[in-house]
Homo-oligomer: A and B are copies of this chain.
């Protein structure tokens, strides 16, 4: 009974096309970003390269660098700073993933063993630091003070978001509002910065950089809401099948915040036992999925994501209608409807 949803292959294929559109729009530049990333992790200490590449090659979606490149294109940017910035945001993201896996004691990410599983926490902590320092070298190379300020503040905000999340683990006094605040810091801020810098390097009027900022932050909110939902929305797919990481780690994310609030006494006792008291037994994750399903939470969370997606779309409306705008609008739908 953990398999709540079957893949609607046609719908998923349609959705996948929207992601492919974005990929095609930026593919030429994205190849340059990947080259720059490889160049930057090249090191006289082979260990650094091995650990960094393990994660970088594991095939993340590269959504942040792609948003950065597409936003710069939307702003008619013609220089090369977008390549460096795209690599920079991916480095910030990758550094935090390495540290996240230490913090969460995770064994798997993107279907492969985590760096901390293979090389121990020590390597993940230090190589994460290394990638963070490289992201700073990249942002400095841009030589534009407003970009530098936003990026460094973003790194700081992101880390504060991670800390806030850590502190809400196993804690059902966490409200939906505080959850939204946390994902704004830990996820949406880097999305918004990735988009906003595209306008800043293009020296576009403030109305455009603000618009991309608003687009990015709302897209990021939708992204994380769906990400947290997917952890409970098990699907019949070999690669996409979830094993309830968040549940096992006692993370208090939106699905269980709502489930706790909507639940009857029996359900609340279940959440208290499994999450707050950390007393889990076999079959608990399936039970959790059932409770979430029973309370119609998946559809309602999807609607929450649609809400943020709508705000994101409206923010882009001031831009003239053209290919880049269409792709960025479509990516909102992709993110809201994705199953992976």
Q: Interface residues, chain A, CB within 8 Å of chain B? A: 43, 45, 47-48, 96, 99, 102-103, 121-123, 125-130, 132-134, 136-137, 140, 143, 145, 148-149, 152-153, 155-156, 159-160, 162-164, 166-167
| Sampled A-B contacts (8; CB under 8 Å) | A45-B160, A45-B164, A102-B125, A125-B125, A129-B132, A129-B162, A134-B156, A137-B153
Min distance, Cβ A69 to any Cβ of chain B, angstroms: 24
Min distance, Cβ A115 to any Cβ of chain B, angstroms: 13
Q: Are A166 and B122 in contact (CB under 8 A)?
A: yes
Min distance, Cβ A142 to any Cβ of chain B, angstroms: 11
With contact pairs A140-B148, A145-B143 given, residues A130 and B99 touching in the complex (Cβ less than 8 Å) = no
Min distance, Cβ A177 to any Cβ of chain B, angstroms: 14
A148 proximity list for chain B (CB < 8 A)? 140
Min distance, Cβ A139 to any Cβ of chain B, angstroms: 9
Q: Are A47 and B163 in contact (CB under 8 A)?
A: yes
Closest 10 CB pairs of A and B: A133-B156, A103-B122, A129-B159, A133-B155, A136-B152, A126-B163, A130-B159, A137-B152, A99-B125, A140-B152
A156 proximity list for chain B (CB < 8 A)? 130, 133-134, 136-137
Question: Please, which residue of chain B has its CB at the minimum distance from the CB of A46?
Answer: B167
Query: How many angstroms from the CA of A125 to the CA of B125 in the assembled complex?
Result: 7
